[in-house]
Amino acid sequence: MAFTIGELGKATGTKVETIRYYERIGLLAKPERTSGNYRSYGKAELGRLSFIRRARDLGFPLDQVRALLSLSDDRTRDCATVDALARDHLAEVERKIVDLTALRSELSALLDSCEGGTVGDCRIIEALAPPATSGETL
């Protein structure tokens, strides 16, 4: 029924240092200690850390995880805030996908255009170098 920090880590896929870090920043409460000053965790902490990890896996940053945790405490409240948080995060993920997709096109166009040869002829370098105002070496 009681875990050491290492066991809690194994159970949740979290490194020991990360758990201590979460404690330091107040995301996890300070747990009880054994006589030998080891942290001692129970089911409640396991649940809380699992929650945190799943939210992190979904890409929520820690401050949003914090918000989700405190929202989830009051089960009678309207879930609109939770949903808004998730919607915001989804929008952010979508923005990143758009950005990266544009990047991918640029990069692959660059790669397609390079035909090998010397750096002097490489289209990738050429694309990076500033527009030739007059013909001299960088």
Partner DNA sequence: CTTGACCCTGTAGTTCCTACAGGGTGCATA
Partner DNA sequence: TATGCACCCTGTAGGAACTACAGGGTCAAG
Query: Which partner, DNA, a second copy, Zn ion, none, binds residue 127 by CB below 5 to 8 Å per kind?
Result: a second copy
Report yes or no: 43 and 1 within 8 Å, Cβ to Cβ. Answer: yes
Instruction: Tell me 29's DSSP state.
Output: P
* 46, 50, 51, 56: residue in contact with DNA (rule CB under 7 A): 56
In angstroms, the CA 75 to CA 123 distance is 58
Instruction: Tell me 41's DSSP state.
Output: B
Based on CB atoms, which residue is closest to a second copy, 32 or 124? 124
70 contacts DNA (rule: CB under 7 A): no
* x/- track of binding to Zn ion for residues 92-131 (CB under 5 A): x---------------------x-------x---------
* 2, 16, 46, 62: residue in contact with a second copy (rule CB under 8 A): 46
In angstroms, the CA 126 to CA 28 distance is 51
Query: Which partner, a second copy, DNA, Zn ion, none, binds residue 38 by CB below 5 to 8 Å per kind?
Result: DNA
In angstroms, the CA 62 to CA 60 distance is 6
Task: Annotate 61-95 with b (16+ C-beta within 10 A) or e (fewer).
Answer: eeebbbbbeeeeeeeeeeeeeeeebbeebeeeeee
* 26, 36, 130, 135: residue in contact with a second copy (rule CB under 8 A): 130
66 contacts Zn ion (rule: CB under 5 A): no
**Residue ranges binding Zn ion (CB under 5 A):** 79, 83, 89, 92, 114, 122
**Residue ranges binding DNA (CB under 7 A):** 4-7, 9, 15-18, 20-21, 34-39, 56, 61-63
